[in-house]
Structures are given as C-alpha cells and as structure tokens.
Amino acid sequence: MSNLINIIKNRRSTRAFIEGKLPPREQIEQIVEAALWAPSGMGKQLWHFSVIYNAEKSLQLAKAVAKASNRGAEYNFYKAPVQIIVSYKRDEQHAFLDGSAAMQNILLMAQDLGLGSCWINQIRDCCDDTEVRQLLTSYGVPKDHVVICSAAIGYIEKETNPKPRMENTVSFND
Ligand SMILES: Cc1cc2nc3c(=O)[nH]c(=O)nc-3n(C[C@H](O)[C@H](O)[C@H](O)COP(=O)(O)O)c2cc1C
C-alpha cells in the first residue's frame, strides 16, 4: 500500500489528548501549509486558519463554546492543546466545501506527523455568540467570516478504535 492510503486509513478521531503537551510549532506550521494547498471552488481560497497554540487559550475557547451551546462545564475539546479554526468569508457559495477540503488536509497531515486530531463541529453554530466571537476575533478570525469547523490537535493519550466502514456505498461502472 502507498504511504498515502496508509495515512488515510490509519487516521482516527482522537478523543483523548495528552493534557498540556504542545507539539513542535514547526509541525503545526506544516499542518497549516497542507491546509493552504487544498482545492477550493474557482480557486477563491477565501478561508482563514486561526491557530491557537496554547493549551490555556484552547480551554478558554472550549469553555465559551460550552456556555454558548449549553454543553456541560467539563467540555474541553478533549484536552487538545492546539486548535486550528477554519473560517471562511460569510455567504460564499463554496465556504463549507472549501473549508472541509482544507480540514481533511489538516487531519491527514497531523496523522502523517504522528499527531492525533479530531474534527470539531461545535464552534460553527455558536461563532456569532458575543463571547465566542470576541475570543475568535482575538485569535485572528476575520469579522466577516463564519467558522466552518476546527481541528483539535495534540499527542494521543488514548487510541480510538476504527469505526467499520459501511458496505454498499460504491457503484463501479465500466
Ligand atoms: C462534519 C463532521 C463533524 C464532526 N464533528 C465532530 C465533533 O464535533 N466531535 C467529535 O468528536 N467528532 C466529530 N467528527 C468526527 C466523526 O465523529 C468521525 O470522523 C467518525 O465517527 C468516524 O471516525 P474516524 O474519524 O475515527 O474515522 C466530525 C466529523 C465530520 C466529518
């Protein structure tokens, strides 16, 4: 098997990160570089990647998200010390498609570097909450952007078992 298919098949959603242990900054920069090379509709690239490279700030955002979306106080992005927030210019046709393509590059690059990652959906629905938005702005999310998703990244504390893939989801025509 090629290296790429191994990376794709071995990537899992990590839901337990080693608390407070930051990966090297260069690795996070490599992950962001992978995001920048994702495809985008009509090549518009109207995205922005805001990196929180700080366990305390990541937790602060998780707490604000928990408050805005009525989650329990223990909500903590699985203790990941890094969050990469994928945002996109509001009301753009390809926002969610482009953002998701970038996100997949982020997750696969993290896997290639031996890091755990998890797609986080929670910021999306509350990104216009006043307290959440204030934090997002302070982390560099442009004011005219919506959050598409974010990636929790860090070292894996507990491995995730693979979820079996559904059958009969492919039609092959020749
Ligand atoms: C659109 C989308 C939203 C997701 N949101 C979350 C989330 O908020 N929290 C979470 O733990 N996992 C989230 N996931 C991860 C999925 O639960 C996970 O990919 C799926 O269970 C398959 O497991 P695997 O990633 O280990 O292959 C999301 C995945 C996608 C594609």
Distance, in Å, from the CA atom of 4 to the CA atom of 11, rounded to the nearest integer, reads 11
Judged against a pLDDT cut of 70, whether residue 1 lies above it is answered with: no
Q: How far is the CA of 43 from the centre of ligand 1 (A)?
A: 26
1 belongs to a structural domain:
no
DSSP 142: -
Tell me if 32 is assigned to some domain: yes
For the entire predicted model, the pTM comes to 0.98
Say which residue the tokens 């959440």 belong to. Answer: 132
CATH label of the domain that carries residue 79:
3.40.109.10
15 lines ligand 1 (CB under 6 A): yes
Residues 36-77: tens digit of each pLDDT: 999 999 999 999 999 999 999 999 999 999 999 999 989 999
User: Do 50 and 148 touch, CB atoms closer than 8 A?
Assistant: no
Contact 32, 49 (CB under 8 A): yes
Is the shortest distance between the CB of 163 and ligand 1 below 6 Å?
Answer: yes
Structure tokens at 126: 């509350």
Is residue 100 situated within a structural domain?
yes
Residue 29 has pLDDT above 70, yes or no: yes
User: Is the CB–ligand 1 distance for residue 6 below 6 Å?
Assistant: no
The number of domains in the chain is 1
